[in-house]
Structure 1
Amino acid sequence: MALGTWGRVYLTPNADTLKFAARGVVAMALALFLAMQMQLDRPYWALISAVFLQIRPQSGLVIEKGVCQIGGTLIGGLVGITVMALAMQMPAIALMLLMVWVMLCATASALTRNFNLTYGFAISAATAILVVVLTVVGSNSSSGVFDIAVARVSEIVLGASCATLVSMLLWPARVRNVIDGHAGRVIDQTFEALIMNLDRDVPMREAREKIVSALGAALTLNNDSSAVIYEGPHGPGRARAAWLLTQRALSMMAEMQTYGRLVREQSSLVNDRFDAALDDIRNTMERVRWRETWSERRREIQGLRQRLQQSSLHHEGSPLERRLAQGLLVLLNYAYVMIEAHHAIRNVDNTRLRATRLARHRDYMPALVVGMRAGLLFAVGAVIYVATQWSSGVLMMVLPVIFGVMFASFPSPTAMLKNVIKGATVGMAVSLVFGNILLAQAPRDFEMLMLVFGPPFFLGLMAMANPPILAQGLGFCIVYTILTMPSNNMSFDIAGFANRALAIGLGLLVLYTVFRIVPSANSLVMRRRVIRATTEDLCALWQRTRRHSREEAGNWFNGRMIERVQRLANIDSQLPENSRFLLDLGMTGLNLGHVILASYRRITSFDKSDETLGLLRQWQRALALAYQACAWGDFDERFSHASRTLMERLRHHGEMPDEQIDLIEGMINRLDITLHRFARVSSGQDDRGSRSGPAESADARSG
Structure 2
Amino acid sequence: MTNPSVRDWLFSAKTFVAAMIALYIALAVPLPRPSWAMASVYIVSNPFVGATRSKALFRAIGTVMGASAAVLLVPPFVESPYLFSVLVALWTGAMIYMALSDRTARSYVFLLAGLTLPLIALPTVTDPTTIFDVAVARTEEILVGIICASLVGSMVWPSRLGPTLIGRTDAWFADAQQFAREALAARSGDVVQLPRQQRLAATVKALDVLLSQLSYDHASPNVVTRAYSLRERMQLFLPVMAALADPLATLRRSAAIAHVPQFEPLMADVCKWIDSSLRRAREDATQGDTEATHLRARIASLRVSAPRGLAPWDGALLSNALWRVQQAIDIWEDCIALRALIVRHEGSWEPRFRHWRVNAEQVFVDHGFMLFSAISTIFFIVVACSLWIASGWHDGANAVFIAAVACCFFGGLDEPAPAIFRFFLACFASVIASGIYLFVVLPEVHNFETLVLVFAVPFLFIGTLIANPKFNLVAAVIALFTATFMSLAGSYDANFMVFINTSSASLAGLVFAFVWTRVTRPFGAEYFAQRLIRATWADVVRSASGQPIADERTFFSRMLDRLMQVLPRLATSGPHHHPSVETFRDLRVASNSLDLRHYRDSVAADMSEQIDRVLTNVRTYYELCVARRKRQPVPRGLIEAIDAALARIAQPGAGAAPGATRTFTAEIRLRDAVHALVGLRLSFAPLASGAPAAPAMPGPASGA
User: Equivalents in 2 of 1:286, 1:156: separation in Å?
Assistant: 50
* Structure 1: runs of 5+ lacking an equivalent: 679-685, 696-703
User: Superposition pairs for residues 332-351 of structure 1, below 5 Å?
Assistant: 332-351=329-348
Residue 282 (structure 1) aligns with:
271
Residues 1:664 and 1:649: Cα distance change in structure 2 (over 3 Å) = closer
Residue 388 (structure 1) aligns with:
391
Stretch deviating more after TM superposition (254-263 or 642-651)? 642-651
Residues 1:592 and 1:284: Cα distance change in structure 2 (over 3 Å) = same
User: Equivalents in 2 of 1:240, 1:320: separation in Å?
Assistant: 37
1:531-566 CA-to-partner distances (Å, cap 9, x unmatched) read: 342244345569999765xxxx44652344334443
User: Equivalents in 2 of 1:157, 1:418: separation in Å?
Assistant: 30
- Pair 1:51 & 2:49 matched: no
User: Equivalents in 2 of 1:77, 1:499: separation in Å?
Assistant: 25
Q: 1:195 aligns with which of 160, 171, 181?
A: 181
User: Equivalents in 1 of 2:202, 2:576: separation in Å?
Assistant: 23
TM-aligned CA deviation for residue 274 of structure 1: 1.8
Residue 140 (structure 1) aligns with:
128
User: Equivalents in 2 of 1:468, 1:458: separation in Å?
Assistant: 17
Q: 1:586 aligns with which of 583, 588, 595?
A: 583
User: Equivalents in 1 of 2:646, 2:76: separation in Å?
Assistant: 63
TM-aligned CA deviation for residue 125 of structure 1: 1.6
User: Equivalents in 2 of 1:450, 1:628: separation in Å?
Assistant: 66
TM-aligned CA deviation for residue 166 of structure 1: 1.5
Residue 77 (structure 1) aligns with:
67
SS at match of 2:262: helix
TM-aligned CA deviation for residue 461 of structure 1: 1.6
Residue 661 (structure 1) aligns with:
670
User: Equivalents in 1 of 2:84, 2:350: separation in Å?
Assistant: 51
User: Equivalents in 2 of 1:227, 1:495: separation in Å?
Assistant: 44
**Is the 1:440–1:492 contact (alpha carbons within 8 Å) kept by the matching residues of 2?**
no
Residue 410 (structure 2) aligns with:
407
- Pair 1:374 & 2:377 matched: yes
**Is the 1:421–1:475 contact (alpha carbons within 8 Å) kept by the matching residues of 2?**
no
1:191-250 CA-to-partner distances (Å, cap 9, x unmatched) read: 32111212248996663432221111112223311111122360x322221221122222
User: Equivalents in 2 of 1:82, 1:614: separation in Å?
Assistant: 64
Residues 1:411 and 1:60: Cα distance change in structure 2 (over 3 Å) = farther
TM-aligned CA deviation for residue 112 of structure 1: 2.2
1:127-174 CA-to-partner distances (Å, cap 9, x unmatched) read: 11122212213x222xx2222221122222222222122211122111
TM-aligned CA deviation for residue 325 of structure 1: 1.4
Residue 227 (structure 2) aligns with:
242
Residue 252 (structure 1) aligns with:
237
SS at match of 2:461: helix
TM-score (norm 1): 0.84
User: Equivalents in 1 of 2:167, 2:360: separation in Å?
Assistant: 18
User: Equivalents in 2 of 1:202, 1:640: separation in Å?
Assistant: 23
Residue 172 (structure 2) aligns with:
186
Residues 1:310 and 1:163: Cα distance change in structure 2 (over 3 Å) = same
Residue 478 (structure 1) aligns with:
480
Residue 560 (structure 2) aligns with:
561
**Is the 2:51–2:213 contact (alpha carbons within 8 Å) kept by the matching residues of 1?**
yes
**Is the 1:245–1:341 contact (alpha carbons within 8 Å) kept by the matching residues of 2?**
yes
Stretch deviating more after TM superposition (636-645 or 30-39)? 636-645
The aligned amino acid for 1:321 is L
1:424-449 CA-to-partner distances (Å, cap 9, x unmatched) read: 33222221222221101221x32222
Stretch deviating more after TM superposition (305-314 or 400-409)? 305-314
How well do the aligned residues superpose, as a CA RMSD in angstroms? 3.6
User: Equivalents in 2 of 1:488, 1:343: separation in Å?
Assistant: 54
User: Equivalents in 2 of 1:263, 1:170: separation in Å?
Assistant: 54
The aligned amino acid for 1:469 is F
1:312-342 CA-to-partner distances (Å, cap 9, x unmatched) read: 6764441331232122111101111111221
Q: 2:400 aligns with which of 386, 391, 397?
A: 397
The aligned amino acid for 1:511 is A
Residue 64 (structure 1) aligns with:
54
Residue 701 (structure 1) aligns with:
none
Residue 701 (structure 2) aligns with:
none
Could you say which structure has the greater relative contact order, defined with CA pairs below 8 angstroms and 6 or more residues apart?
2
User: Equivalents in 1 of 2:28, 2:183: separation in Å?
Assistant: 63
Find the structure with the greater CA-based Rg. Answer: 2
Residues 1:101 and 1:646: Cα distance change in structure 2 (over 3 Å) = farther
1:560-589 CA-to-partner distances (Å, cap 9, x unmatched) read: 43344432552343xx43666111122122
Residues 1:270 and 1:98: Cα distance change in structure 2 (over 3 Å) = farther
- Pair 1:519 & 2:485 matched: no
The aligned amino acid for 1:75 is M
The aligned amino acid for 1:43 is P
**Is the 1:369–1:520 contact (alpha carbons within 8 Å) kept by the matching residues of 2?**
no
Q: 1:26 aligns with which of 17, 22, 31?
A: 17
Q: 2:159 aligns with which of 164, 170, 173?
A: 173
User: Superposition pairs for residues 320-359 of structure 1, below 5 Å?
Assistant: 320-351=317-348, 358-359=361-362
Residues 1:270 and 1:430: Cα distance change in structure 2 (over 3 Å) = farther
Residues 1:492 and 1:618: Cα distance change in structure 2 (over 3 Å) = farther
Residue 29 (structure 2) aligns with:
38
The aligned amino acid for 1:675 is F
Stretch deviating more after TM superposition (71-80 or 216-225)? 216-225
**Is the 2:360–2:557 contact (alpha carbons within 8 Å) kept by the matching residues of 1?**
no
User: Equivalents in 1 of 2:111, 2:505: separation in Å?
Assistant: 20
SS at match of 1:577: coil
1:275-332 CA-to-partner distances (Å, cap 9, x unmatched) read: 2221111122112244423346834433433443444676444133123212211110
Residues 1:569 and 1:496: Cα distance change in structure 2 (over 3 Å) = closer
TM-aligned CA deviation for residue 513 of structure 1: 2.1
TM-aligned CA deviation for residue 687 of structure 1: 8.9
Residues 1:440 and 1:468: Cα distance change in structure 2 (over 3 Å) = same
Q: 2:444 aligns with which of 423, 441, 444?
A: 441
TM-aligned CA deviation for residue 47 of structure 1: 2.3
User: Equivalents in 1 of 2:512, 2:79: separation in Å?
Assistant: 29
User: Equivalents in 1 of 2:526, 2:6: separation in Å?
Assistant: 47
Residue 623 (structure 1) aligns with:
618
TM-aligned CA deviation for residue 254 of structure 1: 1.3
User: Equivalents in 1 of 2:690, 2:404: separation in Å?
Assistant: 47
TM-aligned CA deviation for residue 451 of structure 1: 1.9
More helix by share: 1
**Is the 2:588–2:679 contact (alpha carbons within 8 Å) kept by the matching residues of 1?**
no
Residue 418 (structure 1) aligns with:
421
User: Equivalents in 1 of 2:613, 2:134: separation in Å?
Assistant: 62
1:333-374 CA-to-partner distances (Å, cap 9, x unmatched) read: 111111122123223443368985731122122112221332
TM-aligned CA deviation for residue 621 of structure 1: 6.5
Q: 1:162 aligns with which of 148, 165, 177?
A: 148
User: Equivalents in 1 of 2:609, 2:522: separation in Å?
Assistant: 41
